[in-house]
């Protein structure tokens, strides 16, 4: 598999994991001019933007390390755009989660980082 196929495969694994944890998936790979977010979901009346990171091993560190400040800012900006363009979610609380997959081990980090975009809601 190439990188894109590998990413898509593990996003499906993450989606199933989230559904089993009570998330309702709204969109996968939401894209706009500001960037992309892997999964948009609802969890207990909270709008959740989920980044999925996979590594075959932890030899080079945990996948969550790849969700650096630049990536957090991009995801935050996409989240602002999403809420702005989907008016039904204007009054929802938002959260940023990360699903980390190392080999066959899956970990969910809820509220992994705060909103750090350039747009106010």
Predicted confidence (pLDDT) per residue in 76-108, tens digit: 999 999 999 999 999 999 999 999 999 889 999
Closest CA to 47 of 106, 88, 10: 88
CB 63 within 8 A of CB 54: yes
Q: Where do the domains of the chain lie? A: 3-109
CB 49 within 8 A of CB 94: yes
Considering the four listed CATH numbers 1.10.10.10, 3.30.310.50, 3.60.15.10, 3.40.1350.10, the one that applies to the domain covering 3-109 is: 3.40.1350.10
pTM: 0.91
Residues 41, 108: Cα–Cα separation, whole Å: 14
Predicted confidence (pLDDT) per residue in 20-75, tens digit: 999 999 999 999 999 999 999 999 999 999 999 988 877 677 778 889 999 999 99
């Amino acid at each position: 598999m190439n990188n894109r196929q590998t990413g898509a495969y593990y996003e499906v694994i993450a989606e199933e994991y989230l559904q089993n944890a009570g998330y309702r998936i709204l969109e996968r790979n939401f894209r706009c001019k500001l960037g992309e977010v892997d999964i948009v979901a609802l969890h207990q009346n909270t709008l959740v933007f989920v980044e999925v990171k996979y590594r075959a091993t932890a030899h080079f560190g945990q996948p969550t390390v790849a969700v650096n400040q630049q990536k957090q800012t991009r995801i935050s900006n996409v989240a602002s755009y999403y809420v702005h363009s989907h008016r039904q979610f204007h009054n929802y609380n938002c959260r940023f989660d990360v699903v980390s997959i190392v080999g066959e081990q899956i970990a969910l980090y809820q509220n992994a980082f705060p909103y750090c975009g350039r747009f106010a809601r």
